[in-house]
Amino acid sequence: MISKADFIRIVRDELALPLADKDLDEDLDQVVNWSSMLLVRLVVALEKETGQKVQISGLLTERTLQGIYARAVGA
């Protein structure tokens, strides 16, 4: 289980996205130039951090980072 702060750090460091905390709830299109590549990269980084497999297919339709966080870490 990783905290929201860890999640934000991973997004910032692994994807090099300048993320403000409020961006978590924004639609991804508003935040950055989001792509499925960034999503898979994020999942790989989360898996490395937690040692747990994350199901990607369910995340592809999420529209916010908050939603991805909730699903990926099961919060």
Partner 1 sequence: MTTVDQSPLARLRELGAAGRLTEDHAAVAQLLSQIASGAQGLADLTRAGQILARRDPDEILRRATDSGETVRPVTVAVTGHSTIEPLVAPLTAEFARHGYLLRPSVGEFDAYLRDLQDPSSHLYSRDTELALVVLDPQMIFDELPKPWSVADVEQTVTAKMAQLDRLVGNYVRHAKATLVLNTVPLHRIHTHSLVDLRSRTRLSVAWRSFNTALLGLSEKYARVQVIDLDPLIAEGGPVHDQRMAVYAKVQLGDEVLSRYAREVGHLIRALHGRTKKVLVVDLDNTLWDGILGDDGAEGIAAATTFRGEAFGLFQRTVQQLGSQGVVLAISSKNDREAVLAVLRDHPDMVLRDTDFARINANWEPKDTNLTDIAARLNLGVDSFVFADDSSFETGLVAMSLPSVAVVCLDDEPALHTSKLLADGWFDVLDLTDEDRARGELYRGEAARSDLLAGADSMAEYLRQLGIRVELKLVEQPDVARVAQLTLRTNQFNLTTQRWQQADVTDRINDPDHLVLSIRSADRFGDNGVVGALFARRDDGELHIENMVLSCRVFARGIEDAVMGTLLAYARDSGLRAVHGRYLPTAKNGKVREFYPAQGFDTVAEGAGGELTFRHDLQTIPAIPDHVRITSNFLDRVEGRLA
Provide, rounded to whole angstroms, the least separation between the CB of residue 46 and partner 1. 13
Contact with partner 1 (CB under 8 A) among 2, 4, 14, 32: 14
Give yes or no for residue 43 binding partner 1 (CB under 8 A): yes
Distance CA 25, CA 17 (A): 15
Regarding 58 and contact with partner 1 (CB under 8 A), the answer is no
Residue selected from 3, 30, 36, 52 as contacting partner 1 according to rule CB under 8 A: 36
- Which segments of the chain does DSSP mark as H helices, in order? 4-15, 28-31, 36-50, 65-73
How far apart are alpha carbons 32 and 73 in whole angstroms? 22
Cα 39 from chain centroid (whole Å): 7
- The nearer residue to partner 1, 22 or 55, going by C-beta atoms, is 55
For partner 1, which residue of 3, 27, 30, 41 counts as binding (CB under 8 A)? 41
